[in-house]
Amino acid sequence: MKCPKCHSQNLRVIETRSSNDHLTTRRRRICENCQFRFSTQESVLLSLPKVRKKNGQKEVFSKSKILHGLQAACAKRPVNKEQLNQIVTRIVDWAEKSFSEEVSSCDIGLRVLSGLMEVDQVASVRFASVHQNFSNLDDFVSQLGNMEHE
């Protein structure tokens, strides 16, 4: 690594902070030559599987896509960002440990649904209506019946 100001390689780490998920580390550095201080951020590169969609296409695993779906389901519900981030983290951990090359979008959707059930049942029904393509009121009633049995 080089100093962004003078390009010297004579650097020293002043402070190190780890993020809550322990996948990102922030370091405060100082150049011994010009005394310029700057921050760097290191993150772990995960090897996540590809996602196999219902139509057979494969796409890159996207934490942001999962989070976006969770946020849409939880709109105007008493669910905080930390709870949503915890669900995403659990799904990413599961995907990383459970599969080598690919995972189905249906399996991911079921994990999201399970995580939402723990946090907010109304949000889980909202998510299920999109994920499972509800087409009429009977689909909602059936989902509510399933939730009651669980």
Asked if 75 and 31 sit in the same domain, the reply is no
Residue 4 lies in a domain: no
Does residue 115 share a domain with residue 92? yes
Token readout for 145 is 């019946």
pLDDT at site 3: 96
Strand order in the sheet with 24-31: 11-18, 24-31, 37-43
- Radius of gyration (C-alpha) of the chain in whole angstroms: 21
- Count of domains observed in the chain: 2
Residue 32 belongs to domain spanning: 11-43
> Is a pLDDT exceeding 80 seen at residue 118?
yes
User: Which neighbouring-strand residues pair with 50?
Assistant: 60, 102
Q: Select from 130, 124, 109 the least CA-distant residue to 66.
A: 109
Helix segments in 23-74, DSSP class H: 63-73
* Same domain (yes/no): 105, 37: no
Please, are residues 108 and 127 in contact by the beta-carbon 8 Å criterion? no
DSSP H or E run through 50: strand 50-52
Residues 57 and 116 in one domain: yes
Mean pLDDT of the chain: 87
Classify residue 110: in a domain, yes or no: yes
Strand 50-52 and strand 102-104: the pairing is parallel
User: Residue 5 domain-assigned?
Assistant: no
Region of poorest pLDDT, from 33-42, 64-73, 100-109, 132-141: 132-141
Residue 1 lies in a domain: no
Residue 31 in any domain: the answer is yes
